[in-house]
Structure 1
Amino acid sequence: MTETVHQLINAYYAAFNNGDTAAMLSLLTDDVKHDINQSGSETGKAAFAVFLEEMSRCYRERLTDIVVLADKSGTRAAAEYLVHGEYLEAGHGMPVAHGQKYVLPGGAFFSIRDGKIARVTNYYNLPDWLAQVSK
């Protein structure tokens, strides 16, 4: 069971690194819950697609050193990784973007249902990111 979950989460991050939004969305349940780092929550694939579009517009990111952990039941997982990014365009309320590069540790928690991701909760150190892009 945990091998299947590892494959699912690794496929999700491979799609992220390839910029393949359609592949990422195909791995989610229709009612996926997305908890955004130090922000609110959204529900559904449509909201997640909008989020990914905004991310692609504002950031170019690649994840490395990905480690996936899964529980024996196959219903929960976690991942830790390094984000290597470039800040392309300022989002609402964010500092001015001019191609600043950043490297930031991050993590995520997942709920799995019927072989798909039903919840994604992302965490990273926002003050660290702000310090890196404010230079």
Structure 2
Amino acid sequence: MSRESIERYFTAFNAGDTETMLALVSEDVQHFVNQGEMRAGRAKFAEFCSHMGVSYRETLRDMVIFVSEDGTRAAAEFTVHGQYLQTDPGLPEARGQTYVLPAGSFFTLSGGQITRITTFYNLQDWITQVSA
């Protein structure tokens, strides 16, 4: 179930299907955003997804998923292909710039749901790309 949950999560992400993503995370999910604060709970995760959908259009490619033997931990490595649509406060001005970034996410799973998501990418690389 854990590999299937992670695959469904990323399929939903690529489809812009926030409802499916929300159904896959626990009510008390811990979402650790790259270079940001931890957001606790499904409602905060929903707010983050909504914000991201307005400011960015992203597709994740070259996906490789790793799952622990006991199915409680997972990781994924992928390449983000994105477009910066609307200026995010504190970041460079959005002008429809495109970017390509290597990234990864780490997960904890329990009871068939995702209870932790931690995502990493090189923010300075992204800033350099959208500032060019």
Give the TM-score, by structure 2 length: 0.99
User: Which ranges of structure 1 fall in alignment gaps of 5 or more residues?
Assistant: none
Name the counterpart of 2:122.
Answer: 125
**SS of residue matched to 1:128:** helix
- What CA distance in whole angstroms lies between the structure 2 residues aligned with 1:37 and 1:78? 15
Report Cα offsets for 1:61-114 as digits up to 9, x if no partner.
000011000101110000000000000001111100000000000000000010
Q: Percent identical across equivalent pairs?
A: 48
> Alpha-carbon deviation of 1:23?
0.4
Whether 1:24 and 2:26 are equivalent positions in the alignment is no
Q: Give the root-mean-square deviation of aligned CA atoms.
A: 0.5
- What CA distance in whole angstroms lies between the structure 1 residues aligned with 2:58 and 2:42? 21
Runs of 4+ in structure 1 over 3 Å off: none
- What CA distance in whole angstroms lies between the structure 2 residues aligned with 1:68 and 1:90? 31
> Alpha-carbon deviation of 1:128?
0.3
Q: Which of 50, 54, 76 is the aligned partner of 2:51?
A: 54
**SS of residue matched to 1:73:** coil
**SS of residue matched to 2:109:** strand
Give the TM-score, by structure 1 length: 0.97
User: Which ranges of structure 2 fall in alignment gaps of 5 or more residues?
Assistant: none
Q: How many residues align?
A: 132
- What CA distance in whole angstroms lies between the structure 2 residues aligned with 1:28 and 1:121? 13
